[in-house]
Amino acid sequence: MTVENAESAGAVGKPWRISASNVLVGVAVSILALLVFLAVFADVIAPYDPLRQNLINALQGPSARHWLGTDDLGRDVLSRLIYGCRIAVIAATEATAIAVALGVPIGLFIGYRGGWWDWVVMRIVEAIVSIPGIMVAIVIIAILGPGLHRAMIALGILFSTSFLRLARGVVLAEREEIYVRSARVIGASDSRILFRHIFPNIAPPLIVQVTLTVGAVLLSEAGLSFIGLGVQPPQASWGTMLNTAAAFMQLNWFLSIPPGIAIILTVLSVNLLGDVLRDSIGRGIAATAPEGRTATFEPSRSAASPAARPETRENEVLRVEGLEVMVGSDPGLPIITDLSFSIAQGETLGLVGESGSGKTMTGLAILGLMGAGLRITRGSIVLDGIDLRCLASAEIEKLRGDEVAMVFQDPTTSLNPAFTVGSQIAEVLRAKQGLSQRQAWDRAVALIERVGIPQPGARAKAYPHELSGGMAQRIAIARALSCNPSLLIADEPTTALDVTVQQEILDLFRDLQDEFGMAILFITHDLAVAADICDRISVMYAGEMVEMAGVDTLFHDPKHPYTAGLLSAMPHASDRNPPLPTIRGNVPRPGAWPAGCRFSNRCDFAVATCKQPVALTSGERMVRCLRADQLDLRPGT
């Protein structure tokens, strides 16, 4: 039972559902058609008179003469069941028609008029809805008296509240639409606007509500007849048949089966049709989802070429070598290939690239939290000398928080809205370091103070939604650093913040790094931010690294055309006038990567040989371009 496994929950196999549901719809329609047929031709089809008693043959089981047996008065159960269809159809039609006829006009009217009418009617509706429905029906039946038609009036009044609210809701939504306003401007009368312009919008939800109501009416009618307030004996309805069955349960339990099955099948069929209608109407409204592009991945992975080894650094904290991440079942689709880098203590490595280049996935891969369907298929991740790929998930869990922690992009969603920020930091300290509640809270307050939040004691008791974005991000940073990890992964930690706050957070990172000495993997799409905080920058494109260099080197002498493109797309405060050059096109999705150099289809310098796999050069300065030595990509040249 892991949290990760649950993430693909939304994915449901479509093809199976469609074919199965088509069959089900056919069955449902057939059942309802049969119901109506039996209701209409009950007199012809029923083998016996449903009211004819034969006390000698009472309470018999199924036989050739009486297919479904007989009841306590010797009446034929099958015949009574068939006549029950008639009652069911009458009941459903009557009550639903009353509910629609009563609810829709009132709802339209109060929605359109608003004001006092609306207020008074809605308070009454609220009051009715707060009483259990069956009690409302019972009170109305007390006024009208029992019997099929009166009980259906009662149910019609009861269920009219849902139609009333539906119609009112649609009117409120449509009233301010431009076409309605313009109709009003050209002098259309209120009734014309209501029935000509607004009413057609009610039809789709109305149809769905009708199917729901029919099902509910059938169940309620059976219930009311069962307790003797609906259809009155000796008339045959499914509910009265169940009433009889209840009395003779000990003698002949089979009596309860036929009417029960009849009710269940009918209601199931109606509800199923309602679901199908709702789905198809909903689909009409919703924008068509983009079609999934077929994967055209060719297995010409650059991983086939020998993995470049990043140079060994002093006090190395993290070393990633030849990392490959795949999505989906075997063989799957590569998301990240041949990724290698290392970070030393107190160093900040920037991971830069457009969205979709695999930066965040790299961070999650280090944590072992990539999610369902994703797995590391090659390479190694060595943290503090421990190869994480060799660890069991429980052992990685121990390292998380203690040795490596992560700060996420949006602080307002990465903090749990249900708990105070102080308790979220204290929880980590208690779970990871075994502190007592008191100690953990004090330490949490101290950390909150350390990240520069005034009045830390009071702020610790605040909930995330009570804090500004910048303050929430400071809390998230405090939580990440609470166990003094040797590696901090910061995933776009300033992107969701105001520009002024951005700078403060960057300063905080620098400050904290001086004090705690952790290595930082700083993921960003913003080269200006990377230039500000990073010692070295690694540029990622379409799941692989294309260049790595120290900040100054990279900015002054980019070797890869993609890096150069990113640099030229950076806005400079000094020269605003010329339009910013952009890199044409988008990062190709995994599975749609071009063969060879993955940037080749967007590169101005691409030549025929770029279609071959390109290896990354090793050493301090790494680049993945065949023409790296031929091109002069320095800015301003």
Partner 1 sequence: MFRLILQRLLALAPLLFIVSVLTFSFTSLLPSDPVDLILGDTGTEEQHEMLRERMGLNEPIHVRYLQWLGRALQGDLGSSYFNSVSVMGAVMQRLPVTLSLTAVSAFIAIVVGVAAGVAAALHPRSWVDRFATLGATFGQAIPNFWFGLILVAIFAVSLRWFPATGFTPITESPWEWLRSVILPSIALGTSSSAAIARQVRSAMVGVLQQDYVRAARAQGLSARRVLFKHALTNAMIPVVAVLSFQITVLLGGALIVEQVFAINGLGTLAIAAVRQQDIPMLQGLVLVMVGLVIAVQLATDVIYGLLNPKARPT
Stretch that binds partner 1, among 320-328, 349-357, 404-412, 624-632 (CB under 8 A): 404-412
What are the DSSP E strand ranges found in 472-583? 487-491, 519-524, 536-541, 544-550
Please pick, from the candidates 7, 354, 504, 535, the single residue that binds partner 1 as defined by CB under 8 A: 7
Please pick, from the candidates 219, 281, 376, 382, the single residue that binds partner 1 as defined by CB under 8 A: 219
397 is an interface residue for partner 1 by CB under 8 A: yes
Residue 554 bridge partners (DSSP):
none
233 is an interface residue for partner 1 by CB under 8 A: no
Sheet order of strands, 386-387 included: 333-344, 316-327, 374-383, 386-387
Task: Report how far apart, in Å, the C-alpha atoms of 463 and of each of 213, 420, 422, 460, 493 are.
Answer: 42, 4, 9, 8, 20
Please pick, from the candidates 105, 146, 205, 373, the single residue that binds partner 1 as defined by CB under 8 A: 146
Stretch that binds partner 1, among 86-94, 175-183, 251-259, 498-506 (CB under 8 A): 251-259
The binding track of 582-621 with respect to partner 1, each residue x by CB under 8 A or -, is ----------------------------------------
Phi, psi at 337, each rounded to 5°: -135, 145
Q: How far apart are the first and last CA of the chain?
A: 58
Residue (205 or 371) nearer to partner 1, CB: 371
Under 8 Å CB-to-CB from 290, ≥6 apart: which residues? Answer: none
Please pick, from the candidates 46, 210, 242, 505, the single residue that binds partner 1 as defined by CB under 8 A: 242
CB of 606 to partner 1, least distance (A): 38
128 is an interface residue for partner 1 by CB under 8 A: yes
CA 436 to chain centroid: 37
d(CA 213, CA 193): 28
Residue (189 or 393) nearer to partner 1, CB: 393
Please pick, from the candidates 68, 98, 222, 472, the single residue that binds partner 1 as defined by CB under 8 A: 222
Residue (125 or 548) nearer to partner 1, CB: 125
Stretch that binds partner 1, among 300-308, 473-481, 552-560, 609-617 (CB under 8 A): 473-481
469 is an interface residue for partner 1 by CB under 8 A: no
CB of 408 to partner 1, least distance (A): 6
Stretch that binds partner 1, among 179-187, 261-269, 350-358, 441-449 (CB under 8 A): 261-269
Rg (CA), the chain: 36
Please pick, from the candidates 55, 173, 246, 580, the single residue that binds partner 1 as defined by CB under 8 A: 246
CB of 532 to partner 1, least distance (A): 24
Please pick, from the candidates 42, 106, 141, 622, the single residue that binds partner 1 as defined by CB under 8 A: 141
- For partner 1, the binding residues in 488-527 under the rule CB under 8 A are none
Positive or negative torsion for Cα 408, 413, 416, 421? positive
What are the DSSP E strand ranges found in 260-373? 316-327, 333-344, 348-352
For the stretch 375-402, what's the b/e string if a residue is b when 16 or more beta carbons lie within 10 angstroms of its beta carbon?
A: ebbbbebbbbeeebeebeeeebeebbbb
Tell me the number of residues near partner 1 by CB under 8 A.
86
Stretch that binds partner 1, among 282-290, 395-403, 576-584, 600-608 (CB under 8 A): 395-403
Residue (337 or 423) nearer to partner 1, CB: 423
| Coil/strand/helix, residue 171 | helix
Stretch that binds partner 1, among 30-38, 74-82, 314-322, 424-432 (CB under 8 A): 424-432
The binding track of 527-556 with respect to partner 1, each residue x by CB under 8 A or -, is ------------------------------
Task: Report how far apart, in Å, the C-alpha atoms of 251 and of each of 80, 248, 401 are.
Answer: 19, 5, 67
Please pick, from the candidates 14, 23, 64, 130, the single residue that binds partner 1 as defined by CB under 8 A: 130
CB of 210 to partner 1, least distance (A): 16
What letter represents residue 570's amino acid?
Answer: M
CA 95 to chain centroid: 37
Task: Report how far apart, in Å, the C-alpha atoms of 41 and of each of 36, 49, 218, 454, 636 are.
Answer: 9, 13, 20, 82, 90
629 is an interface residue for partner 1 by CB under 8 A: no
- For partner 1, the binding residues in 340-379 under the rule CB under 8 A are 364, 367, 369
Residue (266 or 563) nearer to partner 1, CB: 266
What are the DSSP E strand ranges found in 185-225? none
257-263 long-range CB contacts below 8 Å, 24 or more apart? 258/68, 258/77, 258/78, 258/81, 259/81, 259/84, 259/222, 262/81, 262/84, 262/85, 262/88, 262/238, 263/218, 263/219, 263/222, 263/238
- For partner 1, the binding residues in 12-71 under the rule CB under 8 A are 12-13
**SS3 sequence of 24-85:** HHHHHHHHHHHHHHHHHCHHHHCCCCCCCCCHHHCCCCCCCCCCCCECCCCCEHHHHHHHHH
Please pick, from the candidates 38, 95, 198, 229, the single residue that binds partner 1 as defined by CB under 8 A: 229
Stretch that binds partner 1, among 1-9, 168-176, 310-318, 595-603 (CB under 8 A): 1-9
- Cβ burial, residue 297 (10 Å; 0-12/13-18/19+): middle
CB of 123 to partner 1, least distance (A): 5
401 is an interface residue for partner 1 by CB under 8 A: yes
CB of 431 to partner 1, least distance (A): 6
